[in-house]
């Protein structure tokens, strides 16, 4: 009977220790992930593209995309498609 209690205690202690280790690992991994996530997000925010028509640099999010090209505004996209790159 006492052996059963000892086994139960050992099991509980192991389970508790495992849970603590798991939580520590989770916390460590979360902080690692946050650290890694922060940099690509910043890099993406600063990703600049060039208007194919007027060479203006602008954030990719603000640019108008046309296939592989970027434009600062729809007017320049239209100019580029009609006349080609500005000389």
**Half-sphere exposure of residue 12, counting CA atoms within 13 Å on the CB side?**
6
Q: Which listed residue (50, 54, 58, 69) binds Zn ion by CB under 5 A?
A: 54
In angstroms, what is the minimal distance from the CB of 67 to Zn ion? 16
φ, ψ (nearest 5 deg) of residue 56: -70, 135
- DSSP one-letter string for 42-53: HHHHT-EEEBTT
User: In the chain, how many H helices and how many E strands?
Assistant: 2, 4
Binding-site size for Zn ion (CB under 5 A) equals: 6
For Zn ion, give the closer residue by CB, 49 or 53: 53
Position 80 contacts Zn ion (CB under 5 A): no
Q: Which stretch binds Zn ion (CB under 5 A): 4-12, 19-27, 28-36, 69-77?
A: 69-77
């Amino acid at each position: 009977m006492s052996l059963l209690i000892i086994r139960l205690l050992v099991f509980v202690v192991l389970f508790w220790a495992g849970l603590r280790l798991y939580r520590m690992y989770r916390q460590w991994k979360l902080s690692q992930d946050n650290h890694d996530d922060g940099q690509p997000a910043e890099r993406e925010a600063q990703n600049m593209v060039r208007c194919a028509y007027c060479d203006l640099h602008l954030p990719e999010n603000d640019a108008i995309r046309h296939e592989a090209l970027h434009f600062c505004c729809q007017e320049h996209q239209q100019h580029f498609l009609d006349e080609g790159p500005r000389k």
